[in-house]
């Protein structure tokens, strides 16, 4: 009974967060108006404009909802899902409860690649972000491998080193960058959905949805990899599967970072919340991480844009929320390996 209630909450949470976020803002829009406008838009699209509802609401409502809030909320949910899945995959792949794309340096590498393309190279921001996220993960894993083993402490320390390295390189880029681009890059690096629009939604939806779907299809391998070297008993090529999963994680993280900047700790917190409620089976862990990651991200974005008269970068909000949880996990695991 308890698990059924928890599962119901996990499934309702992103829906609740979605509609709440559409209401929240400097200009309040009532929930009935939002529901009616969304239904009217769906009918209009499905019937190719032949059926339209008389709304009776100010035109300002529709402009704010469809041009500003809806694309922003969808972007936040997609990014939250991608980062939560990335964290779940990395924790299983390395049998390490204290890692996510932010901690092991993938986000910092992707940010450097995106900033390099944005400020200096006529190259795709997404491609450069992906390339350097892979480079960052390779460096972290290589540095952490001591005596043929990757321990919790060595991976975290290696992640700190790689994070510092790419952060320094990004700072150098900012120092050399033209002043017109500098302000935008500095704000973007702290994480923000302020620039989210339908163009961003169209660019990230397929890559993130595809990454999450492929990860779910391969969930059995995550269960096996979380057993460590015993995975070889089941005929699993551990090195090959790690490479595939690291590529998937780097791909999704690069897409998120390229459009929204660095947003940390989501991949660390969300999978653990699901794991504490339902256990380590990735059949439940992956889809529920997607759901709760999406819901959490839009609520964090609500805080970022509505808590004060100015917008706080979302990366600051998620970091403030994530650090206490990280301390809790560190105390719980005692700094050693944990079978995730």
pLDDT averaged over every residue in the chain: 88
Kindly tell me if the per-residue pLDDT of 330 is higher than 90.
no
Q: What mean pLDDT is predicted for residues 76-83?
A: 97
Per residue, the 3-state secondary structure of 115-170, as one string, reads HHHHHCCCCCHHHHHHHHHHHHHHHHHHHHEECCEECHHHHHHHHHHHHHHHHHHH
> Which is it for strands 145-146 and 149-150: parallel, antiparallel or unpaired?
antiparallel
Quickly name the fold that domain 70-333 has. ABC transporter involved in vitamin B12 uptake, BtuC (1.10.3470)
Between 49 and 18, where is the model more confident?
18
Q: How far is CA 160 from CA 2, 105, 140, 151, 157, in A?
A: 39, 7, 9, 14, 5
Dihedral pair phi/psi, residue 146, rounded to 5°: -120, 120
Kindly tell me if the per-residue pLDDT of 1 is higher than 70.
no
What local confidence, expressed as pLDDT, does residue 51 receive? Answer: 66
Cα–Cα dist 173/117, whole Å: 10
Between 337 and 193, where is the model more confident?
193
What local confidence, expressed as pLDDT, does residue 47 receive? Answer: 83
Half-sphere exposure of 8 (CA within 13 A, CB side): 5
Kindly tell me if the per-residue pLDDT of 340 is higher than 50.
no
pLDDT band at 328 (very low <50, low <70, confident <90, very high): confident
* Residues in CB range of 151: below 8 A, 6 or more apart: 144, 336, 337
Cα–Cα dist 279/68, whole Å: 38
Half-sphere exposure of 178 (CA within 13 A, CB side): 5
What local confidence, expressed as pLDDT, does residue 335 receive? Answer: 52
> Of 58-67, 160-169, 180-189, which has the strongest mean pLDDT?
160-169
Predicted TM-score (pTM) of the model is 0.91
pLDDT band at 324 (very low <50, low <70, confident <90, very high): confident
% of the chain at pLDDT higher than 90: 56
Q: What are the residue ranges spanned by the domains of the chain? A: 70-333
Task: State pLDDT tens for residues 232-258.
Answer: 777 788 878 888 998 899 999 999 999
Task: State pLDDT tens for residues 85-139.
Answer: 999 999 998 888 778 898 889 999 999 999 999 888 887 888 999 999 999 999 9
What local confidence, expressed as pLDDT, does residue 284 receive? Answer: 94
* Cβ pair 284, 216 in contact under 8 A: no
Q: What mean pLDDT is predicted for residues 181-194?
A: 86
Task: State pLDDT tens for residues 157-168.
Answer: 999 999 999 999
Q: What mean pLDDT is predicted for residues 200-209?
A: 96
Kindly tell me if the per-residue pLDDT of 79 is higher than 60.
yes
Give the angle 2-213-103 at the CA atoms, nearest 5°. 80
Of 260, 228, 198, which Cα lies nearest the Cα of 70?
A: 198
What local confidence, expressed as pLDDT, does residue 333 receive? Answer: 61
What local confidence, expressed as pLDDT, does residue 53 receive? Answer: 67
């Amino acid at each position: 009974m308890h698990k059924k209630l928890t599962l119901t909450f996990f499934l309702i949470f992103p829906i609740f967060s979605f509609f709440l976020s559409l209401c929240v803002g400097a200009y309040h829009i009532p929930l009935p108006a939002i529901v009616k406008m969304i239904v009217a838009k769906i009918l209009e699209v499905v019937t190719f404009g032949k059926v339209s509802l008389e709304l009776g609401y100010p035109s300002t409502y529709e402009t704010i909802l469809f041009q500003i809030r809806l694309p922003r909320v969808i972007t936040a949910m997609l990014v939250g899902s991608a980062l939560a899945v990335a964290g779940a995959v990395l924790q299983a792949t390395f049998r390490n409860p204290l890692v996510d794309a932010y901690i092991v340096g993938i986000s910092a590498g992707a940010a450097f690649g995106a900033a390099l393309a944005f400020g200096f190279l006529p190259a795709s921001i997404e491609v450069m972000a992906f390339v350097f996220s892979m480079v960052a993960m390779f460096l972290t894993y290589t540095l952490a491998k001591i005596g043929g083993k990757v321990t919790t402490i060595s991976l975290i320390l290696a992640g700190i080193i790689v994070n510092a390295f790419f952060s320094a390189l990004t700072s150098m880029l900012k120092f050399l960058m033209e002043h017109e681009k500098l302000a935008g890059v500095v704000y973007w690096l702290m994480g923000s959905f302020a620039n989210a629009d339908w163009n961003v939604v169209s660019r990230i939806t397929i890559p993130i949805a595809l990454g999450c779907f492929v990860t779910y299809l391969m969930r059995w391998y995550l269960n096996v990899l979380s057993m460590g070297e015993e995975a070889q008993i089941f005929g699993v090529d551990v090195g090959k599967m790690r490479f595939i999963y690291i590529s998937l994680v780097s791909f999704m993280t690069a897409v998120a970072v390229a459009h929204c900047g660095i947003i940390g700790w989501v991949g660390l917190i969300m999978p653990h919340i699901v794991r504490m409620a339902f256990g380590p089976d990735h059949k439940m862990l992956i889809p529920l991480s997607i759901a709760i990651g999406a819901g959490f991200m839009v609520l964090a974005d609500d805080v970022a844009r509505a808590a004060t008269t100015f917008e706080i970068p979302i990366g600051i909000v998620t970091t403030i929320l994530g650090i206490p949880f990280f301390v809790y996990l560190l105390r719980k695991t005692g700094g050693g390996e944990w079978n995730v």
